[in-house]
Amino acid sequence: MHSERKKIVTPGLSIVTGVPASGGVVSGPVRLVRGVDDFDTVEPGDVIVCRTTDPSWTVLLGLAAAVVTETGGILSHAAIVAREYGIPAVVAVEGAMAALADHRLVSVDGTGGHIRALARSEVDAAPSDVATRHERQVPDDSRLM
């Protein structure tokens, strides 16, 4: 008989790591996006976690606090657009879609390439150099709308 075990995630420890692609550290809830059908589930300040992105995702990334992809490198679409928007990005994160649960509070370190679990109290008491979802501002550029 096969029994399923739940993975216990300890706050503060890296859940997954990947290639740092756009610097900065932010915290927010994970939003798993499998494709364009999931775009309407993304809210401002979410951490978008997906397999990959393409130009149709550009406006969506403007809402995000950060982006984490399972594929790509520093010249991938997600990395370039994240740098343009000034949000952290970690790419080539093997198994990110399976390891990160929807709505889980995480910290994304786009400089070091780490995605860490957070407890609710850590988000409320974030240090001043860590942007939280309410501090994220989308560039005011009518060409993106």
For residue 85, give the nearest of 59, 108, 62, 63 by alpha carbon: 62
Q: Residue 13 burial by CB count (10 A; 0-12/13-18/19+): exposed, middle or buried?
A: exposed
Alpha-carbon span 122 to 107, nearest angstrom: 10
Alpha-carbon span 4 to 15, nearest angstrom: 19
Is 114 one of the annotated active-site residues of the chain? Answer: no
CB 7 within 8 A of CB 13: no
Q: Which residue out of 77, 103, 114, 134 is catalytically annotated? A: 77
Catalytic residues: 77
